[in-house]
Amino acid sequence: MLKVDNINVYYDNIHAIKNLSFEVMDGEIVTLIGANGAGKSTTLKTISGLLRTKTGGIQFMGEELKSTAPHKIVAKGLVQVPEGRRMFQNLTVEENLEMGAFTMPPNEIPDLKDDIFRRFPRLSERRKQVAGTLSGGEQQMLAMGRALMSRPKLLMLDEPSMGLAPLLVDQVFGIIAEMHSSGVTILLVEQNASMALAVADRGYVLETGKIVLSGSGKELRESDQVKKAYLGG
């Protein structure tokens, strides 16, 4: 479904992503794990078109995205929930959801909104509140709800568990599993490797812009290298 083929991304002179290739198949949950600064978010930003690769290509459902504008990539069904949730703090919950449906025909928006409010009753209670007043957990729900408003085919989640209490982390991973079972393919970027590998079909380990290891979720969880570096022994 998504094929990242030998990309190289630079921040000015810093070579952030080096010859990176990986693939996500239809219906999978794939995770990219790695430490801070390994290039996980950079990879997602490049796929979304916010950054550009110097080489190689990025194919989504057979189409080349290398030089497609970010808003057109969203319209194709490849949607990202950015790191740190990035709510529009001054917009209401409802307006944030409407922003998520920016690429959708206006007549479908009420149904999409109802669907999100059914999934996240908490957001429904707060629909007229500005997003800046929500708690961290509620903001993460809104971030995921907002992304679902565009009926994504592939959802890329950047560190959805970041900064959340353990109970909320479980809840977030529950929502990811639920989205997946409703037919959304998922590319999950996480520092919380144990949680990510537990839900993922396959995973890739990223270190300083390169993939150093790949395999099924189970294989990676049992690998000594991963255990030592990411699972705390």
Partner 1 sequence: MSTLSLIIKQIINALQLGSIFALIALGYSMVYGIIRLLNFAHCDIIMVGAYISWYFMTNFANMPYLAVAAAIFGCTLLGVAIEKVAYTPLRGSPRISLLITAIGVSYLLENTAQLWLGAAAKSVPPFFKVTTLSFMGLSVSTTSVVTIAVVTVSMTALTLLVQKTKMGRAMRAVSEDSQTAQLMGTNINATISFTFAIGSALAGIGSVLYCCAYNQASPTMGSMLGLKAFVAAVLGGIGSIPGAIVGGFVIGLTEVFVSSIGLSTWKDAVVFLILIIVLLVKPTGLLGKQVNEKV
Which positions lie near partner 1, rule CB under 8 A?
48-50, 69-71, 74-75, 79-80, 82, 86, 88-91, 95, 98-100, 102-103, 106, 146, 150
Q: Minimum distance from CB of 23 to partner 1 (Å)? A: 22
Q: Minimum distance from CB of 129 to partner 1 (Å)? A: 16
φ, ψ of residue 188 in degrees (nearest 5): -115, 125
- Residue 89 and residue 104 in contact, taking contact as beta carbons nearer than 8 Å: no
Instruction: Give dist(CA 215, CA 106) in Å, integer.
Output: 42
Nearest Cα residue to 39 out of 64, 11, 58: 11
Q: Minimum distance from CB of 184 to partner 1 (Å)? A: 16
Instruction: Give dist(CA 81, CA 86) in Å, integer.
Output: 8
Nearest Cα residue to 116 out of 179, 186, 184: 179
- Residue number with CB closer to partner 1 (15 or 71): 71
Instruction: Give dist(CA 45, CA 3) in Å, integer.
Output: 15
Q: Minimum distance from CB of 100 to partner 1 (Å)? A: 6
- Residue number with CB closer to partner 1 (91 or 168): 91
- Residue number with CB closer to partner 1 (18 or 86): 86
- Residue number with CB closer to partner 1 (1 or 79): 79
